[in-house]
Amino acid sequence: MTTETVRADRPPLRERAVAELTAARARTKALTDAVTDEDLTAQHSPLMSPLVWDLAHIGNQEELWLLRNVAGRAPMHPEIDPLYDAFAHPRADRPRLPLLGPAAARRYAAQVRGQVFDLLERTPLEGTSLLADAFAFGMIAQHEQQHDETMLITHQLRRGEPVLAAPDPAPPAGPPPAVREVLVPAGPFTMGTSTEPWALDNERPAHVRETSAFWIDTVPVTCADYQAFMADGGYHEPSWWAPEGWEQIRKHDIEAPLFWHREGSVWLRRRFGVTEPVPGDEPVLHVSWYEADAYARWAGRRLPTEAEWEKAARHDPAQGRSTRYPWGDADPTPDRANLGQRHLRPARAGSYPAGASPLGVRQLIGDVWEWTASDFLPYPGFRAFPYREYSEVFFGPAHKVLRGGSFAVAPVACRGTFRNWDLPVRRQIFSGFRTARDA
């Protein structure tokens, strides 16, 4: 029998859907209005789509799921569907497609959104799985925010003068954590969810997992921690690396996290067009799974499994249940987590004591995505919904799980059960990690 939190109080789902869709579109507009039309149509890296592709894809998916599937309307522009099918064309090939231009893409997305708001106002939120609890509208809000994060990654890869700005996170409130690691006791806990209304298919269903006791870092691994690994020859000692990882760093001459370079004895990094000294007290960012795994081996530790990470983030031993977030069931607030692109960097390690777990683990939500040791696999009883291509086609050993979100992730697309995944070579994503060890 699982013990899972009941839904916390939140605004009525119709009002919440309007608010989340509005917030997502405001962010999309800010990310696309910040650059010229030339930058919108350029491909800043073969790893990423042109920004204008993401803009029109957002509108196309919204039309597909809300106007066609929910409302039963005919396609507005069926000829463009193949252009914005994420599985039809690799990202590197998308600039050569006859894509909508910036003005047409903005107009299309706006037309779709206008009809969606009308639909949301008068559609009963019941009767089908897509409509119950406004799921389809929540799914689309999450989809847009996920592409906003993707576009922010493209902004980081973009060369040129800075076009984005945000205040830096405040210094940590209160004293730093008293210990570097905490013990998570052995025993069962409830993993996943069956009650979170907008949880996606790979987060479901809730089920019991058993873990042995383990120790986990109180905060993510910092840039200073990682520089110690580098200074000790971490990128030159094959014994720390998985064979595929060693092959990658040799093939591409990798000697530091992505966007880092050294001038004399000082390590610098490029961050959204600004070059600055690497801050030692921030969580390390832009490292691959292979780099995280190598660091953990060097440190005599390991990456936590996905189940261990979620237990550290959600299990409250005193209450004997899993909560929605490390701090409890309430939605994220600015004093609990660095989310939603309020800042363009992680907060210093040890920040957000109000967001700590009952055991005292900090920054499990926000700041940096955290690599885990686990492959991306379905939970027992998994059912693909509403389409196989969201999760099912990615299951298997090729993809590793990341947890916890980053400063680039919106709260609507981040919760204690949310699962992200990527190839272990990926470094452009806002990824860091923390380590663990057996008790």
Which residues does 50 contact at the CB level (< 8 Å), separation at least 6?
40, 41, 42, 43, 44, 94, 95, 99
Annotated binding-site residue? 57:
yes
Annotated binding-site residue? 236:
no
Whole-prediction pTM value?
0.96
Annotated binding-site residue? 94:
yes
Domain regions of the chain by residue span: 13-157, 181-221+299-438, 223-281
Compute the half-sphere exposure of residue 436: CA atoms within 13 Å on the CB side of its CA.
25
- The token pair at 61 is 């998916």
pLDDT tens, per residue, the chain with 439 residues: 456 654 444 568 899 999 999 999 999 999 999 999 999 999 999 999 999 999 999 999 999 999 999 999 999 999 999 999 999 999 999 999 999 999 999 999 999 999 999 999 999 998 899 999 999 999 999 999 999 999 999 999 999 999 999 999 999 988 889 999 999 999 999 999 999 999 999 999 999 999 999 999 999 999 999 999 999 999 999 999 999 999 999 999 999 999 999 999 999 999 999 999 999 999 999 999 999 999 999 999 999 999 999 999 999 999 999 999 999 999 999 999 999 999 999 999 999 999 999 999 999 999 999 999 999 999 999 999 999 999 999 999 999 999 999 999 999 999 999 999 999 999 999 999 999 999 9
Q: Which fold has domain 181-221+299-438?
A: paralog of FGE (formylglycine-generating enzyme) (3.90.1580)
Place of tokens 């990690």: 433
Helix, coil or strand: residue 294: helix
Annotated binding-site residue? 422:
yes
Annotated binding-site residue? 147:
yes
Q: Which CATH architecture has domain 13-157?
A: Up-down Bundle (1.20)
For 149-250, where are the E strands, in sequence order?
A: 181-184, 187-191, 207-211, 214-217
What ranges in 240-287 are assigned the alpha helix state H? 243-251
Annotated binding-site residue? 16:
no
Q: What does the radius of gyration of the chain's CA atoms come to, in whole angstroms?
A: 21
